[in-house]
Amino acid sequence: MARIEFEDVTKRYPDGTVAVHDLNMSIADGEFVILVGPSGCGKSTALRMVAGLEEISGGKLTIGDRVVNDLTPKERDIAMVFQSYALYPHMSVADNMGFALKLAKVDKSEINNRVKQAADILGLTEYLDRKPRALSGGQRQRVAMGRAIVRQPQAFLMDEPLSNLDAKLRVQMRAEIAQIQNRLGVTTIYVTHDQVEAMTMGDRVAVLKKGELQQVDSPQTLYDNPDNVFVAGFIGSPAMNLAEGRVERVGGRLVVRAGSIALGIPDGAVDRYPRVRDYEGRGVAVGMRPEHFYRPDGSVPPDQRFTVQVGLVEALGSELLVHVNTDAPPVLTEDTRQAIDDEAAFAELERSAAGGQSFTARFDPGTPPRVNEQIEVAFRGDYLHFFDLETGAALR
Amino acid sequence: MASSASTAPAPPAGAVPPGGERAKSREISVGALARLFVAPSIITMALVALFPILYAAYLSLFEYRGRQQQGFAGLDNYVDVLTGGRFWDAVITTLIFTVASVAFEFVIGMGFALLMNQAFVGRGVTRATILIPWVIPTVISAQMWFFMLNVNPGFINNLLGLGGFNWLGSEPWALVSIILADVWKTAPFVALLLLAGLQTIPEDMYEAARVDGATAWQRFTRITLPLLKPAIFVALLFRTVDSLRIFDLPAVMTGGSNGTTTLSVLVQRFIVAEPNPGVGATLSTLTFVVVLGIGVLFVGLIGRDLVIGDPED
């Protein structure tokens, strides 16, 4: 087990594309870190550089107390779980799991012991003699895990290991992997594009965009205090509503106006984003998470509520997702384009920008509003987020 | 179409549906239908492949003088051929040729295939270059080698400074020359077959092996070779069966002299040059039996699990 240290680690391809740019990150011994980001953000490349499958073009990568830049994968003593599992089809489950040990000339009985132990942890004991093709998808995934476990390596590297499983199995394996990692205490880097995996599995989450690290923090910190508009828009599902607004002072109080929506900025929000005071009379990107909307009663002051038209209602049983039409202009920057990670969706947003955008609000279950109905919604102003429109940086 | 009767709504119990008898008699089982569809291929195969084989076997039972059939000879031709030396000499020559050429073609073809499977600048040109010998008709490349192996002035003798070395006029060099020509021509074909196999092995298999600590050689022996087994089997089977029938190279380069009379050359000699079609047919039949036997042996030894499927499944 070991600490993993990225110092200005860079990946530049011969054609000049930079996949990973000056990555700096320190992963503690035994820590479970998730690399997350939209497609093409360099998360897999970063992982493959740790594995030694991708040459490091610049910077320094340390595993344990060795600089591994020029070491082969073999010398790095790491185990990797591939998205496709990459099981050897001609070997039995036991041979697949024991292959690395066999190559390392570990004693046969020792290999057997370790394979049995891992099989036990993963519930694979009765399948040890089978070939991979005679296994289900979930079992193959376990074998891939087992192959990593028996190695007792310095670190586990996992490249979207659950993306080939169906939704139900994914939920189950998600918990299992987290448990196994916790139990074995092996330093783990886990690449995913799945929000839920990112939020639930790791100690810390590193968010990447276009090869650059945006923020590394515990999932909750990331969610509550995003460093910039990209992280804000990327983390969270349904995503944070982001609108272009303007900070104004009305009767001694700060107000943010987005389209016809005007919300007072309470002290709680100013405490979290103190620089919002400097933006008086200027444009900002204002962020509102869906769960901080609520249906107001008469006692809610008018500067915390507004009237919108219902566009779509999704009743999920435990909650109610209501898409409401607003005239608040969307934030159309590279940050939000990356955060949406869907060219078609972003193009649609761009096309309809002049007419405002749709906000997603999450309400407690109850009588759902009807489509096209005008409803009043309120927002918990303390949870407003503010970012610079140009740089995307949080106004902290 | 066969199911049109069976998918019709079920008639009430006991009622005889109108035209029910007719519908029943038209119904064909799935198996029969499959046989019906395959029948044209089977018939064609029988006409072009099975008929000549059986006809040759039939002819081999007759005695000939010149091209004139003299009468039924029973197995006399077989007794003559199997007790005479020429057949066995040809068998040995053919086997030596087959083993040597297939072995070299396999090793060189594997090298080419591994090379062509790498991503590098100029891969397209390399692939095309490697495949050129295979595209040239054998008769032409045989003639080309014949010229190059000429004694004096000979390109190869000149190149290697061998003076008046007589490649095609001495044993065992005549056979060696023919093996060389065959390897030159057919190694690319083996490479092509193996390349097709290599490309089915996913890249992450090698990456997993690298992470598992396998050296390049270990990746080749533990991953590439086992996963390439089907392609290797096909390549070896094709090449072995093909080599056993070798005719054009010795026919053009040596005319079968100096220890290069293969089975096919011998057959041609008896049918055309001698001529004794009875013995020729006997030799053809025996050649067929040898090729068939080796083919069956191949499938039995190497390919059973590939042809029939892994018993573990």
Average pLDDT over residues A43-61: 96
The DSSP 8-state label assigned to residue B168 in this structure reads T
Going by DSSP bridges, is the β-strand pair A305-315/A374-379 parallel, antiparallel, or unpaired? antiparallel
- Taking the C-alpha atoms of residue B77 and residue A208, their distance in angstroms, rounded to an integer, is 83
Which residues pair with residue A379 across a beta bridge? Answer: A293
Residues of B in contact with A164 (CB under 8 A): none
Among the listed residues A64, A202, A85, the one whose alpha carbon sits nearest the alpha carbon of residue A132: A85
Chain A stretch 121-140, residues whose beta carbon is closer than 8 A to a beta carbon of chain B: 130-131, 133-134
Closest-CA distance, B202 to chain A, in angstroms, reads 8
Looking at residue A326, its pLDDT comes to: 94
Alpha-carbon gap: B114 to the closest alpha carbon of chain A (Å): 19
Nearest to B212 among A103, A130, A134 (CB): A103
pLDDT averaged over chain B?
85
Binned at pLDDT 50, 70 and 90, residue A161 comes out as very high
Give the minimum alpha-carbon distance from A98 to chain B in angstroms, rounded to a whole number: 10
Q: Distances in Å between the alpha carbon of B61 and those of A141, B72, B79, B180, B265?
A: 64, 6, 11, 38, 21
Write down the residue that tokens 């405002």 correspond to. A356
Residue type, B43: I
- Give the residues across from A292 on adjacent strands: none
- Confidence bin at B216 (pLDDT 50/70/90): very high
**pLDDT, position A353:** 87
Name the residue with tokens 């608040």: A328
A63 and A73 in contact (C-beta within 8 Å)? no
Distance of alpha carbon A3 from alpha carbon B205, whole angstroms: 27
Alpha-helical regions (H) of chain B: 20-26, 30-45, 51-59, 76-83, 85-117, 123-135, 138-148, 155-160, 173-198, 203-211, 216-218, 225-244, 248-253, 263-268, 277-301, 304-308
Residues in B touching A147 (Cβ below 8 Å): 208, 212
Q: What is the ipTM of this complex?
A: 0.88
A63: Cα within 13 Å, side-chain hemisphere: 26
Helical spans, DSSP H, in B119-219 = 123-135, 138-148, 155-160, 173-198, 203-211, 216-218
The set of residues, in sequence order, having a beta carbon less than 8 Å from that of A151 and lying 6+ positions away, is A77, A79, A100, A101, B212
Establish if A354 touches chain B: CB-CB under 8 angstroms: no
The whole-angstrom separation of Cα A348 and Cα A135 is: 43
pLDDT tops 80 at residue A108: yes
Question: Nearest Cα to B306, choosing from B212, B237, B253?
Answer: B237
Q: Name the β-bridge partners of A78.
A: A155
- The C-alpha atoms of residue A339 and residue B26 are separated, in whole angstroms, by 64
Contact (CB, 8 A) for B61 and B75: yes
Report helix, strand or coil for B156. helix
Residue A264 burial (CB count, 10 A): 18
Question: Closest Cα partner for A96 from A37, A161, A150, A157?
Answer: A150
How many other C-beta atoms lie within 10 A of the C-beta of residue B300?
A: 10
Taking CA–CA distances from A152, the nearest residue in chain B reads: B212
Evaluate if residue B1 carries a pLDDT over 70.
no
Contact B204 A84 (CB under 8 A): yes
Q: Beta strands A78-81 and A155-159: pairing type?
A: parallel
d(CA B105, CA A259): 76
pLDDT tens-digit profile of A262-313?
999 999 999 999 999 999 999 999 999 999 999 998 899 989 999 999 999 9
Flag the least confident range among A227-231, A388-392, B252-256.
B252-256
Q: What is the pTM of this model?
A: 0.82
Ordered structural domains, chain B, with CATH:
84-269 (1.10.3720.10)
Q: Convert the pLDDT of each residue in B103-136 to its tens digit.
A: 999 999 999 999 888 877 888 888 888 889 999 9
* pLDDT tens string B269-291: 988 888 888 999 999 999 999 88
> Nearest residue of A to residue B226 by CA position?
A90
The answer to whether B93 and B175 are in contact (CB under 8 A) is yes
Indicate yes or no: CB of A131 within 8 angstroms of CB of B312. Answer: yes
Q: From the list A78, A89, A103, which residue is nearest B227 (CB)?
A: A89
How far is Cα A270 from Cα A395, in angstroms, rounded to an integer? 9
B222 interaction partners in chain A (CB closer than 8 Å): 88, 99
The pLDDT, as a whole number, for residue B8 is 43
Nearest residue, CB atoms, B210 vs list A53, A84, A131: A53
Q: B124 burial class (0-12, 13-18, 19+ CB within 10 angstroms)?
A: exposed
- A-chain residues near B214 (CB < 8 A): 74, 99, 103
What per-residue confidence (pLDDT) applies to A71? Answer: 95
Q: Helix B173-198 to helix B138-148 angle, to the nearest 10 degrees?
A: 130
B221 contacts in chain A (CB < 8 Å) = none
Closest Cβ–Cβ partner in B211, B218, B310 for A79: B211
Mean pLDDT, residues B3-30 taken together:
52
Which residues are CB-neighbours of B113 under 8 A, at least 6 positions away? B190, B191, B192, B194, B195, B197, B198
Q: Check if B203 contacts A (Cβ < 8 Å).
A: no
Which residues contact residue B198 at a Cβ distance below 8 angstroms, ignoring those fewer than 6 apart?
A: B113, B114, B117, B224, B228, B231
Asked if A147's CB is within 8 angstroms of B213's CB, the reply is no
What tens digit of pLDDT does each residue of A335-351 get?
Answer: 899 988 888 989 999 88
**Contact flag B313-A134 (C-beta cutoff 8 Å):** yes
Q: Do A90 and B208 touch (CB under 8 A)?
A: no
Higher pLDDT, B153 or B244: B244
The Cα B22–Cα A243 span in angstroms is 74
Tokens of A344: 């078609």
- Edge to edge, the sheet with strand A155-159 lists A78-81, A155-159, A187-192, A32-36, A204-209, A212-217
Query: Could you tell me the CA-to-CA distances from B160 to B163, B164, B184 in Å, in that order?
Result: 8, 11, 18
| pLDDT band, residue B170 (cuts 50/70/90) | confident
